Chains A and B, each alone.
Chain A
Amino acid sequence: MMNRQLASAFALLALASPAAAQTINVALNADIRSTNPGVNRDDNTDAVVLHMVEGLVGYRENGAVAPLLAEKVTTSADELTYTFSLRKGVKFHNGVEMTSADVLWNWTRYMEPKTDWRCRSEFDGRIGMKVTSVAAPDPATFVMTLEKPSALFLDTMARTDCAMVAIIHKDSLKQDGSFDRPIGTGPFMLGDWRRGEFVSLKRFDGYASPPGEKRDGYVGRKRALVPEVKFLAIADGATVKAGLISGALHVADIPDADMPEMRKVPNLQVLSAPSATKHALLLQSRDPLLGDVRMRQAIAAALDLDELVAQASNELGTTNNSAVYVSSPYYSEVQRQRYRHDPARVKMLLAEAGYKGQTIKLIANKRSTVPSFPVAIMAQAMLQAAGINSEIEVLEWATQLDRYSKGNYQMMSFSYSARLDPAQSYNQFSGPKDTYPSKAWDSRRADELIEKATVIADEGERQKLFDELHKLMLADAPLIFLYNQVDTAVVSKRLQGFAPWVASKPRLWEVGLAN
């Protein structure tokens, strides 16, 4: 009794404010880098910032692109001009109504080198696509013209790492032009950011939600149902679990291995959804040993992928050897084609390749957010069982990324961030190694197909291209995609309406907290 009374007293003191009872507390594994959309960023930063800002278009629940600040988007017959009709009544957090002049100002700012926008090279012709002109013919219309047709234009505009080309108010900048704080149009606005501790977002009462009966990715209904959302930076997994169990935290991502334990906690529920993040084993085709495709094929056949995926994902994941994520509209029967575990074929391929028992180094890291290490452990055991010697080299993440960027590895257990359009997904790992040493797949034919897929908008034609790419990739085995990350969140049962989704980022709109 005494304990409980003390507990209540202390808990009230700890919460420090009555509003805390209606605050959703979300754990992040690290602090955000900035509040400047698409500039100084990482995944955590995008997740938080996209509660405060919005773009003209955004991703739907299934990864398709739909209007967000735009009411509709029309494309000219030559597929060069995109006209965005803006939604009326959309206000910034400072109460000013958004017009096309704001969109124009933002675009100009993003395309200035000094802004350091991550995605400037995606639109200025350096990578391929080039926006040749923009115009705001009237307050409700914004027009963008491309140099060449591009099937990826809207998808790139919606990308989360580009911050959806967020439209912020001019007052987001200081007098000297440097960034101050995001005055966006999102359902939440910035409350307080204590670096290394938390970011607090407050409900924006003047928010104009996009049309829709329910939440739909980053579009659809987006009402803020609670007055405050707090993202807390907590690096230690054990502390996160303690926070969830105690009720101090309402949402957290925890490693798959901890899910069974969390499922047993009465006040918690485990929610999951497949995401577009891809876990893979990279095989360096420029390595003297792995340069032989038979050697790479032998490795692919040596792996019992279903078993590997089950163990690495704690039985949450499903094997997917495709670069297209499982819930994508482009995930066809062809994309389901996969490598088969075949010890007899391994023996034959190893003999043909003249394998003499050389040891293959497999690089992995121990970050809790990816299954790099468990994948490496399982793969090594399976390779060993098939007569292929391998050795795991555990590196710290920055060191592994450096080796990846330079192509300095034999095998690597690696995860690619979510790319929703298949062409973007292939672009992550395919390209000439002489120019881009980090690319895992150096195939001229593949690059031609990907190039076509970035231009052609017709879905049927694109499907054919992606299917051909998949077959080509399986035959060449430059890397072995294992499975798509299952985005799992441990959530308090008090939380109502929360759901993980394909973009692997928490959404706290349309989410309530029961008393």
Chain B
Amino acid sequence: MLRFALTRILMSVPTLLIVSVAVFGLIRLIPGDPASLMLGDLATPASIADLQARLGLDQSVPVQFGIWFGNLLKGDLGQSINSQQAVLPLILQRFWISAQIVLVAVALASLVAVPAGVLAAWKQDTSLDLSLVAVATLLLSIPTFWLGLLLLLFFGLKLEWLPVVGYVSIAENPLAGILYLVMPIMTLFLHEIGVILRMARASTLEVLRLDYITHARAKGLTESAVLWNHAFKNAFGPTWTLIGLVLGNLLGGIAVVETVFTIPGLGRLLVDSIFARDYPVIQGCMLFVAFTYVLVNLVIDLCYPIFDPRVTAQ
């Protein structure tokens, strides 16, 4: 198991290297630079050049990359051009905020969507199945920003139950902190239900058609035993993979949800940095997102044997 994990982590190094080179190069290909943005409409070529030199942006891109990469190997992701904060602590601070929302939302969505998907498959073509599929499709079709705004209007403005702007850290005030997180979590929860339910239903349906299920039924097992002991374990694999992908994807940034609910998370940090051409933060965020994605999927893979004994971590 340990060897497998280490091998997978080592295999991720080339991926991260490619990501770092690609992000470093691509962000510099986009027109616009931090110096011009900082100086605004009164900038002169001389003042822009002056500021670029102070920010180290006057050197060639390979030299800039060499300096950045050298620091990266020492665990230093640099300093934000915009806020002049160290990038790594900034990312970790913002990531923790996003992770709270994503982990809770995906866990809740999985708890609801997986049994619902299995149930829909079991009762295929009944009104229950049709209703569940319709709800899932509806939730999947609503853009998260729209769903977020609807929740904001209903729970924030109409019922006045939840705060509409701002953010309070759970560490600072647990109860108030939870209140600020309810709507962002609910938005992601509702959206991801649609994604996971459909996959759980499809993979269960596929398994229910296999011969060994017919065999199990022929042995005289109860439907619930067939479903949970035989069908579910085999059907859960693809759903588990999807949950991993969803988790990796969302941990990489839920900028839209964070923008609607004024949550200072990683997604907003990345988007703000792109608009401000804050190169060190963009590079750091992208690298961190790629690393998180690799890590989450590694964890997912390592968990496979728990659900499917045929899969081993060898």
| Chain A bound to chain B | yes
Q: CB within 8 Å of B: which residues of A?
A: 3-4, 6-7, 10-11, 13-14, 16, 25, 27, 30-31, 33-34, 40, 42, 116, 118, 121, 126, 161, 194-198, 232-236, 238-240, 242-243, 245-246, 248-249, 396-399, 401-405, 414, 416-417, 428, 435-438
- Residue among B31, B173, B277 facing the most chain A CB atoms (10 A cut-off): B31
Asked whether any CB of chain A lies closer than 8 Å to the CB of B268, the reply is yes
Asked whether any CB of chain A lies closer than 8 Å to the CB of B44, the reply is yes
Question: Is the Cβ of A14 less than 8 Å from the Cβ of B275?
Answer: no
Question: Is the Cβ of B40 less than 8 Å from the Cβ of A398?
Answer: no
For B159, list chain A residues within 8 Å (CB): 3, 6-7
Question: Is the Cβ of A13 less than 8 Å from the Cβ of B43?
Answer: no
Question: Is the Cβ of B156 less than 8 Å from the Cβ of A242?
Answer: yes
- Known A246-B157, A399-B31, A405-B48; contact A13-B164, beta-carbon cutoff 8 A: no
For B99, list chain A residues within 8 Å (CB): none
**B interface residues, tally (CB under 8 Å):** 55
Closest to A246 in B: B164
For B277, list chain A residues within 8 Å (CB): 398
Residues 102-135 of B at the A interface (beta carbon under 8 Å): none
Closest to B40 in A: A417
SS class, residues of chain A in contact with chain B:
mixed
- Known A236-B259, A405-B43; contact A248-B83, beta-carbon cutoff 8 A: no
For A396, list chain B residues within 8 Å (CB): 32, 275
Question: Is the Cβ of A7 less than 8 Å from the Cβ of B166?
Answer: no
Task: Please pick, from B31, B40, B262, B272, the residue contacting A402 in the complex, using a CB distance under 8 A.
Answer: B31
Task: Please pick, from B40, B83, B153, the residue contacting A242 in the complex, using a CB distance under 8 A.
Answer: B153
Complex CA distance for A405 and B164, rounded to whole angstroms: 39
Question: Is the Cβ of B268 less than 8 Å from the Cβ of A399?
Answer: no
Asked whether any CB of chain A lies closer than 8 Å to the CB of B74, the reply is no
For A248, list chain B residues within 8 Å (CB): 163-166
For B94, list chain A residues within 8 Å (CB): 196
A-B interface, 3 closest residue pairs, ranked by CB to CB distance from nearest? A398-B32, A196-B264, A7-B160
Question: In the complex, what's the smallest C-beta–C-beta distance from B88 to chain A, in angstroms?
Answer: 15
Closest to A41 in B: B38
For A116, list chain B residues within 8 Å (CB): 54
For A6, list chain B residues within 8 Å (CB): 159, 161
Asked whether any CB of chain A lies closer than 8 Å to the CB of B57, the reply is no
Question: Is the Cβ of B166 less than 8 Å from the Cβ of A13?
Answer: no
For B149, list chain A residues within 8 Å (CB): 238, 242
Task: Please pick, from B42, B161, B175, the residue contacting A428 in the complex, using a CB distance under 8 A.
Answer: B42
Question: In the complex, what's the smallest C-beta–C-beta distance from B90 to chain A, in angstroms?
Answer: 8
Question: Is the Cβ of A14 less than 8 Å from the Cβ of B156?
Answer: no
- Known A10-B163, A14-B176, A116-B54; contact A239-B43, beta-carbon cutoff 8 A: no
Question: Is the Cβ of B32 less than 8 Å from the Cβ of A195?
Answer: no
Question: Is the Cβ of B166 less than 8 Å from the Cβ of A232?
Answer: yes
For B268, list chain A residues within 8 Å (CB): 196, 235
Question: In the complex, what's the smallest C-beta–C-beta distance from A126 to chain B, in angstroms?
Answer: 8
Complex CA distance for A195 and B265, rounded to whole angstroms: 11
Complex CA distance for A396 and B42, rounded to whole angstroms: 19
- Residue among A31, A196, A436 facing the most chain B CB atoms (10 A cut-off): A196
- Known A3-B160, A249-B165, A398-B277; contact A239-B262, beta-carbon cutoff 8 A: yes
Question: Is the Cβ of A435 less than 8 Å from the Cβ of B45?
Answer: yes
Q: Mark B153-194, 1 if CB is under 8 A from A, else 0.
A: 100110111111111100001011001100000000000000
Other 4 A-B pairs with CB < 8 A, given A7-B161, A161-B40, A242-B165: A396-B275, A401-B32, A405-B43, A417-B42
Closest to A178 in B: B84
Question: Is the Cβ of A232 less than 8 Å from the Cβ of B165?
Answer: yes
For A14, list chain B residues within 8 Å (CB): 162-163, 166, 168, 176, 179-180
Question: Is the Cβ of A10 less than 8 Å from the Cβ of B48?
Answer: no
Task: Please pick, from B42, B45, B161, B175, the residue contacting A437 in the complex, using a CB distance under 8 A.
Answer: B45
Closest to B159 in A: A3
Asked whether any CB of chain A lies closer than 8 Å to the CB of B306, the reply is no
For A235, list chain B residues within 8 Å (CB): 259, 262, 268, 272
For B292, list chain A residues within 8 Å (CB): none
Residues 68-114 of B at the A interface (beta carbon under 8 Å): 82-85, 90, 94
Closest to B172 in A: A16
Asked whether any CB of chain A lies closer than 8 Å to the CB of B41, the reply is yes
For B175, list chain A residues within 8 Å (CB): 13
Task: Please pick, from A11, A42, A121, A436, the residue contacting B160 in the complex, using a CB distance under 8 A.
Answer: A11
Question: Is the Cβ of B157 less than 8 Å from the Cβ of A397?
Answer: no
Question: Is the Cβ of B44 less than 8 Å from the Cβ of A436?
Answer: yes
Question: In the complex, what's the smallest C-beta–C-beta distance from B254 to chain A, in angstroms?
Answer: 13
Complex A-B: 13 CB contacts under 8 Å: A16-B173, A30-B272, A40-B82, A116-B54, A194-B264, A196-B269, A197-B166, A197-B262, A242-B149, A401-B36, A405-B43, A417-B42, A438-B41
Asked whether any CB of chain A lies closer than 8 Å to the CB of B260, the reply is yes
For A27, list chain B residues within 8 Å (CB): 165
- Known A16-B168, A398-B32; contact A246-B45, beta-carbon cutoff 8 A: no
Complex CA distance for A3 and B84, rounded to whole angstroms: 45
Task: Please pick, from A13, A194, A240, the residue contacting B176 in the complex, using a CB distance under 8 A.
Answer: A13
- Residue among B54, B161, B173 facing the most chain A CB atoms (10 A cut-off): B161
- Known A30-B272, A436-B44; contact A246-B32, beta-carbon cutoff 8 A: no
Question: Is the Cβ of B165 less than 8 Å from the Cβ of A243?
Answer: yes
Asked whether any CB of chain A lies closer than 8 Å to the CB of B152, the reply is yes
Complex CA distance for A194 and B171, rounded to whole angstroms: 14
Closest to B277 in A: A398
Complex CA distance for A10 and B160, rounded to whole angstroms: 8
Question: In the complex, what's the smallest C-beta–C-beta distance from A324 to chain B, in angstroms?
Answer: 17
For A194, list chain B residues within 8 Å (CB): 264
Closest to B180 in A: A14
Complex CA distance for A136 and B36, rounded to whole angstroms: 37
- Residue among A27, A198, A239, A438 facing the most chain B CB atoms (10 A cut-off): A239
Task: Please pick, from A11, A238, A245, the residue contacting B260 in the complex, using a CB distance under 8 A.
Answer: A238
Question: Is the Cβ of A121 less than 8 Å from the Cβ of B83?
Answer: no
Question: In the complex, what's the smallest C-beta–C-beta distance from B218 to chain A, in angstroms?
Answer: 55
Asked whether any CB of chain A lies closer than 8 Å to the CB of B240, the reply is no
Question: In the complex, what's the smallest C-beta–C-beta distance from B239 to chain A, in angstroms?
Answer: 33
Complex CA distance for A417 and B40, rounded to whole angstroms: 9
Complex CA distance for A417 and B41, rounded to whole angstroms: 7
Question: Is the Cβ of B179 less than 8 Å from the Cβ of A10?
Answer: yes
Question: Is the Cβ of A397 less than 8 Å from the Cβ of B275?
Answer: yes
Asked whether any CB of chain A lies closer than 8 Å to the CB of B59, the reply is no
For B259, list chain A residues within 8 Å (CB): 235-236, 239
For A126, list chain B residues within 8 Å (CB): 46
For A10, list chain B residues within 8 Å (CB): 160-163, 179
Question: In the complex, what's the smallest C-beta–C-beta distance from B58 to chain A, in angstroms?
Answer: 16
Question: In the complex, what's the smallest C-beta–C-beta distance from A161 to chain B, in angstroms?
Answer: 8
